[in-house]
Every structure is written in structure tokens, then in C-alpha cells.
């Protein structure tokens, strides 16, 4: 393909490390748009997935994925009307740098003594970043006097790395009106307001707050507060000072792992490879939550990547994308232990892309289960499309991909969506694996593998004509779902039954893409992270007798090639997971070896008749981890 003509068609590109959001303006309501891209050094153009058309703003918007960092790219758009080219043009863009130039490095101890660590008006440059490095042990104790243990205010081109942060009245790290900030390999805990009053199940910091109905809420390990181009990577967020309430007392209120707030100028964040881990005793409200759900600036708002994260144990949603969702991408994450998995209700602008995720094992504190993906907004709030590609969803509950609702419209559960190549596996017959109760004509569901335990035909609700190429009556088989090994068996009904999706599903074995998050023969690790380590199980189940007996389970890690040939590791787990023993608790691993871990229940830390859930992390020195979930039944 030769794309040479450039007429000055208005094109805007906003990139991250490996993705880009593209906006193409038009004055023709009947136009169609094709987008192509390539590295500057390549000769072959690649086709992007067709963009969404917004007839209110008269623009096409779409995302390009699977890019390389530190690279120069070109993008080209062609507008046609009834097959005739009416305009075309191109633009150049660069992806983010993985290792920017460091002009100055400080140790935390050079700048901080006690209390809040305030970093105000500290300005690096694009060619000279400032790095602040901790020891990884007891670096900052923000106590309770100020809202943030670390407050990064009006600063730019700053890297905060290997810092252990405890405390903060509301936040571990507050990134406030700042630009080009990177938070890497930090350990954040012990933050959030302490409840002095619990009234009707809701926590308040004081009686005055209770009287004013000002519950403790939106306190986060990391608060992205109207800041732009922020990276949060390889962080462990855990053990806030309190737990969220359940829906028994109304909408959950309480702590979050990450809180996001944007305005019309901000967004463009990357949140990747983090462990946002709750527990039985201290649960999140949402793992990641955004302000202003009903606004185009809500939550991540625009041009953001959330990927490779482990998000566990809360009483509402693993993540709230609710809001703008303009080229917002949620991919290759693992979520479990929430009432709902991913919320997109409402999508105020779009498009958002949810792909390659493992969304499973719903269950809030009381065991109630909702939707794996909840959508909605009705006529008032629904504007943008959500695209669901190659996800594996596995749970009981009332729905898989379904309309739950937002706002006050009679059709508040109405949403816009396209699904392709997903596996949605309902562990009960009453789970509507796809539910579009309003039969929205523009919605398109196809090439999905849908299944309900206890039924011979999947439980679905959508307009006639959908899933013409889907599978609704042939159970997909996994290598070992009980061990969270959701890779496909060689005889799975999901093999070669997907469809090619430009830029999203183009690399595959066999005659067509497989359905679900795992192409046959692929790596078993989920969330997907840049580490060559896999486990023989990612879910351990134990039986124990309080005070006397525990099962012993061995977890074997297969270690491939490591940078530098070796690295130290430690077992990280929440303070509230004291019932769980894992050994060896620390050590060194080398390339092309194995590590065998012994997992047991501490029989002196459990109570007869209780069930326990938790996560331990095999956490490497660079902050990357292999997460393993553990469930214990104590008799």
C-alpha cells in the first residue's frame, strides 16, 4: 500500500508507551474512516481497527495498540463517502520514552526527615528528569497530620522510585496539578482516615462528619489529582486503615487503591503492572475509582492505558472507568473478589477498549456476585462505544457483559458495545452471559464463546441476528480452571473460532484467532507482565482445622531468562493475611531454574467455620510480581 497524498486533514494523536489515541475531524456526516499506521523506519503500513464516529463532535476516534516505546510512528487516515475518497492526510507521533535522561538523583533522605514529604514546584525538563530514590524500607511515614504522606504539587518530570510509604490521612501519594510524573516500584500502605464513628454500617472520621453524612470515601493509596502524563508502575498498594462497607448499608464507601480525577486539560495516564490487593478483613470500595462518573472528564477521561494489574477483593467494582473513556484502554489485567469486575457505566464519550483480561470469581464480603462487566447510562449519558475483545470471564453472578444502569432514565441500562472473541463462562444457569435488555440496534455481539453451567444453551438477551458466528452450546475447556490456568486445552471449543480484528487479533496459531484471553500455547501468567516466570498454579485451595491441622500445597515457579541472570525475591502479603504461611519467604532466583514454595495455613490464626481468601506475591527486586491467590476452608 502506498499512502502518499496529504491534504492537511485534521488529525490529532496522543500516545503512551505502546498505544495511541487518534482523532480525525470531518464535516461529512456520511463519511467513513480508515486508519493506517507504521513505524517511520518500516515500509509496510498496518491497518488499525475502525474508529468510532461521533456525530455530535463530528470526529472519528480510535486507538492503535501494540506499539513499541521510544519509537517514531506515522499515522494516515482516509475518509470516504460511498466508496469515494473525499479527504486524506497523515501525522507523525512518538511513543513515550522508557528510560528518560536523568539530570539529577536524590535519595529520599536528602530531602525528607519526618511527617509529610512535600515536593512542591520541583521542575525537571524533558531532557533532564529528577529522580528521587528510596531504600524500599520505611522511607516515608506520613502519619495522620496531613492528607498525603507524599504530596507532589505543581511539579514536572519527576521519578519517585523504590519508596516504602506508610500513612497519610487520606493518601499515600497525592499527585496534584503535576505533569510527567512516574511512580515506580513503591510500597504503599497504612493510609486513609480512621473511623471514630460507625453508623448504620458506614464509617465516619468524627461524629460531626456522621451528622453531616460525610462518610470516609475516596481515600487512595495513590491519588492522580488533575495531573497529566502520569505513570504508576510496579507498585504494591495494600492495607489501608479501614475497610469499605458492603451494599447491605447502601453503596460502598471507603478506601480505594488508586483514585483518579481529571479536568479538560488532563488525563493520558498509564497504570501498569501494579498489585492492588485487598483482603477478607480490609476490602476496597473500588480497586481503582474515578471522580465525576457522569462527565466526559470522569475517571481516566482520555488517552490512558491500564494494564498488567492484579486487582483483588473489594465490595463494589475492581475498576470504575465510568466517565469520558475517550481512547481509554483496559487490558491484560486480572480481577477477582469484587461485586462487579469492570464498570463502564456510563461511557460519556468513548471509545474504550477492554481486551485480553481475565475477569473472574466475583464475590464481595458477603459472597454476593453481580456483573463481570456492568454498563449503562441510558439516553442521557450513553454516548460512546465500549469494545470487548478476547477477554476470558469466569464467574457466577447475575451477568457477564450486561446493562446494569446509570442515571434516572427509564432505559438507564442502555449501552453501546461491540464484542468479539470473548469467552464468557457463567458458573450458574441464572447468569445472563450477555444481557442487552433494550436490544440496541447498533450493538454488535459476535464470535464469542458463551456458556452457562447447568444449561445446554447459553443464557443471553440481545436483538435477533447477534452471535451469528458465536458458540452458545459447546463448553470451552481450560487446562485447569480450578488453578486459574485458563489457557485452552487442545480440544477446546474456543480454538480457531474467533475472527481477525485489525491491530487487535492478528497474530495467532491455526486458521483463526482463538476466543478468550489466551491464544493456544501462550504463556499462562495473568496479569500479563514483562517477566519470564510462570507458575504451575495461580490459585491454591487449602483445608485446615483451627489449632491442629493444615493442608500443605507446593507451588512451583518455572523461571526463564532474567535480566542480569538473577534477582532477589520476597514473599509479600497483606498484614491482614497473617493466617497464610509461605516459605521460603525470601531468596535469590536464577535464570532457567525452578522455585518451589510451600503454602500452609497458620492454624493458630484462624477460627473454626470461617473461610479465608488472600493473595501472596512473589515480588522481585524491580517490583514485578507473580500473584497467587489462596482460599482456605477452616473446619
pLDDT in tens, 414-434: 999 999 999 999 999 999 999
In a domain, 72, yes or no: yes
Q: How confident is the model at residue 630 (pLDDT cuts 50, 70, 90)?
A: very high
List pLDDT tens digits, range 378-411: 999 999 999 999 999 999 999 999 999 999 999 9
For residue 617, is it within any domain? yes
Residue 610 lies in a domain: yes
How are the residues of the chain apportioned to helix, strand and coil, as percentages rounded to the nearest 5?
A: 5, 45, 50
Query: What three-state secondary structure class fits 241?
Result: coil
Cβ atoms within 10 Å, residue 145: 10
Please report whether residue 47 resides in a domain: yes
227 contact partners, CB below 8 Å, separation of at least 6: 175, 176, 177, 178, 179, 181, 266, 269
Long-range Cβ pairs for the range 106-112 (8 Å, 24+):
106/130, 106/131, 106/132, 106/133, 107/132, 107/133, 107/134, 108/132, 108/133, 108/134, 108/135, 108/139, 108/140, 108/163, 112/139, 112/140
Determine the average pLDDT of the residues in 54-73.
99
Asked if 460 and 435 count as a contact pair (C-beta separation under 8 A), the reply is yes
Residue 432 CA to residue 423 CA, distance in Å, equals 13
Query: 7: pLDDT confidence band, cut at 50, 70 and 90?
Result: low
Mean pLDDT of the region 339-355:
99
Among candidate residues 45, 60, 94, the one where a domain is terminated: 94
How far apart, in whole angstroms, are the C-alpha atoms of residue 454 and residue 430?
9
Q: How do residues 547-593 score in pLDDT, each as one tens digit?
A: 999 999 999 999 999 999 999 999 999 999 999 999 999 999 999 99
The predicted-structure confidence for 114-157, as pLDDT tens digits, reads as follows 999 999 999 999 999 999 999 999 999 999 999 999 999 999 99
Mean pLDDT of the region 178-197: 99
Work out how many domains the chain is built from and give that number.
Answer: 2
- Of the chain, the percentage scoring pLDDT greater than 70 comes to 99
For residue 214, what is its C-alpha cell?
A: 460525610
Which one, of 558, 53, 85, 32, lies nearest residue 350 by Cα? 53
Q: Give 8's pLDDT tier (boundaries 50, 70, 90).
A: confident
Would you say residue 190 lies in a domain?
A: no
Residue 35, domain extent: 11-94
> Which of 94, 126, 143 represents a domain boundary (last residue)?
94
pLDDT in tens, 230-265: 999 999 999 999 999 999 999 999 999 999 999 999
Q: Looking at the predicted structure, is the pLDDT value of residue 225 above 70?
A: yes
Choosing from 67, 94, 121, the residue where a domain stops is 94
Residue 492 is assigned to a structural domain of this protein? no
Domain-located, residue 65: yes
Average pLDDT, the chain: 98
3-state secondary structure of 380: helix
pLDDT range class, residue 458, cuts 50, 70, 90: very high
Please check the confidence at residue 5 and state whether its pLDDT lies above 90.
Answer: no
Local structure of residue 584 (DSSP, 8 states):
S
* Residue pLDDT, tens place only, 281-307: 999 999 999 999 999 999 999 999 999
In a domain, 570, yes or no: yes
CATH code for position 568: 2.60.40.10
Share of residues in the chain with pLDDT > 90 (%): 99
Which residue in this structure is represented by grid cell 483483588? Answer: 312
- Give me the long-range contacts of 466-473 (CB less than 8 A, separation at least 24): 466/434, 467/434, 469/499, 470/445, 470/446, 471/497, 471/515
Amino acid at each position: 500500500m502506498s499512502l502518499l497524498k496529504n491534504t492537511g486533514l485534521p488529525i490529532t494523536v496522543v500516545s503512551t508507551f505502546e498505544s495511541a489515541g487518534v482523532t480525525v475531524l470531518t464535516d461529512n456526516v456520511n463519511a467513513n474512516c480508515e486508519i493506517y499506521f507504521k513505524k517511520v523506519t518500516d515500509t509496510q503500513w498496518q491497518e488499525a481497527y475502525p474508529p468510532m464516529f461521533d456525530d455530535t463532535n463530528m470526529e472519528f476516534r480510535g486507538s492503535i495498540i501494540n506499539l513499541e516505546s521510544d519509537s517514531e510512528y506515522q499515522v494516515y487516515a482516509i475518509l470516504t463517502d460511498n466508496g469515494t475518497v473525499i479527504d486524506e492526510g497523515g501525522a507523525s507521533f512518538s511513543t513515550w520514552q522508557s528510560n528518560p535522561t536523568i539530570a539529577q538523583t536524590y535519595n529520599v533522605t536528602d530531602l525528607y526527615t519526618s511527617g509529610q514529604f512535600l515536593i512542591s514546584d520541583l521542575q525537571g525538563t524533558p531532557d533532564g528528569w529528577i529522580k528521587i530514590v528510596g531504600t524500599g524500607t520505611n522511607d516515608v511515614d506520613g502519619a495522620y497530620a496531613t492528607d498525603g504522606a507524599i504530596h507532589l504539587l505543581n511539579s514536572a518530570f519527576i521519578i519517585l522510585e523504590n519508596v516504602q510509604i506508610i500513612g497519610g490521612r487520606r493518601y499515600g501519594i497525592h499527585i496534584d496539578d503535576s505533569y510527567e510524573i512516574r511512580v515506580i516500584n513503591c510500597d504503599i500502605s497504612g493510609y486513609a482516615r480512621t473511623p471514630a464513628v460507625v453508623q448504620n454500617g458506614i464509617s465516619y472520621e468524627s461524629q460531626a462528619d456522621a451528622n453531616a453524612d460525610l462518610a470516609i470515601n475516596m481515600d487512595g493509596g495513590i491519588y492522580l489529582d488533575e495531573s497529566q502524563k502520569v505513570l504508576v508502575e510496579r507498585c504494591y498498594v495494600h492495607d489501608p486503615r479501614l475497610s469499605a462497607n458492603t451494599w447491605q448499608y447502601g453503596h460502598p464507601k471507603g478506601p480505594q487503591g488508586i483514585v483518579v480525577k481529571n479536568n479538560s486539560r488532563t488525563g493520558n495516564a498509564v497504570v501498569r503492572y501494579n498489585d492492588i490487593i485487598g483482603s477478607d478483613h480490609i476490602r476496597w470500595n473500588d480497586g481503582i475509582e474515578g471522580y465525576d462518573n457522569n462527565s466526559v472528564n470522569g475517571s481516566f477521561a482520555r488517552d490512558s492505558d491500564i494494564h498488567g494489574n492484579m486487582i483483588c477483593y473489594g465490595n463494589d467494582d475492581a475498576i470504575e472507568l465510568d466517565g469520558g473513556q475517550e481512547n481509554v484502554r483496559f487490558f491484560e489485567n486480572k480481577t477477582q473478589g469484587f461485586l462487579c469486575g469492570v464498570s463502564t457505566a456510563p461511557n460519556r464519550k468513548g471509545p474504550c477498549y477492554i481486551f485480553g483480561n481475565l475477569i473472574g470469581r466475583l464475590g464481595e464480603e458477603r459472597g454476593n456476585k453481580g456483573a463481570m462487566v456492568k454498563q449503562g447510562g441510558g439516553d442521557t449519558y450513553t454516548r460512546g462505544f465500549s469494545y470487548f475483545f478476547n477477554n476470558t470471564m469466569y464467574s457466577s453472578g447475575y451477568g457477564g457483559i450486561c446493562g446494569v444502569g446509570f442515571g434516572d432514565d427509564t432505559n438507564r441500562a442502555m449501552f453501546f458495545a461491540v464484542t468479539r472473541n470473548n469467552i464468557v463462562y457463567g458458573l450458574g444457569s441464572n447468569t445472563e452471559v450477555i444481557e442487552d435488555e433494550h436490544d440496541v440496534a447498533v450493538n454488535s455481539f459476535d464470535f464469542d464463546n458463551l456458556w452457562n453451567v447447568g444449561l445446554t444453551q447459553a443464557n443471553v438477551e440481545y436483538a435477533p441476528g447477534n452471535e451469528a458466528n458465536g458458540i452458545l452450546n459447546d463448553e470451552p475447556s481450560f487446562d485447569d480452571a480450578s488453578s486459574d490456568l485458563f489457557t485452552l486445552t487442545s480440544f477446546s471449543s474456543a480454538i480457531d473460532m474467533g475472527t481477525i480484528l485489525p491491530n487487535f487479533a492478528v497474530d495467532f496459531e491455526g486458521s483463526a484467532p482463538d476466543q478468550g484471553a489466551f491464544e493456544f500455547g501462550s504463556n499462562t501468567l495473568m496479569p500479563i507482565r514483562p517477566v519470564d516466570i510462570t507458575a504451575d498454579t495461580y490459585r491454591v485451595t487449602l483445608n485446615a482445622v483451627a489449632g491442629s491441622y493444615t493442608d500443605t500445597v507446593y507451588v512451583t515457579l518455572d523461571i526463564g531468562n532474567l535480566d542480569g541472570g538473577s534477582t532477589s525475591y520476597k514473599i509479600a502479603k497483606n498484614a491482614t493475611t497473617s493466617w497464610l504461611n509461605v516459605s521460603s519467604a525470601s531468596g535469590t532466583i536464577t535464570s532457567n531454574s525452578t522455585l518451589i514454595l510451600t503454602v500452609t495455613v497458620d492454624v493458630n490464626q484462624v477460627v473454626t467455620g470461617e473461610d479465608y481468601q488472600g493473595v501472596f506475591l512473589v515480588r522481585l527486586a524491580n517490583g514485578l510480581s507473580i500473584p497467587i491467590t489462596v482460599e482456605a476452608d477452616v473446619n
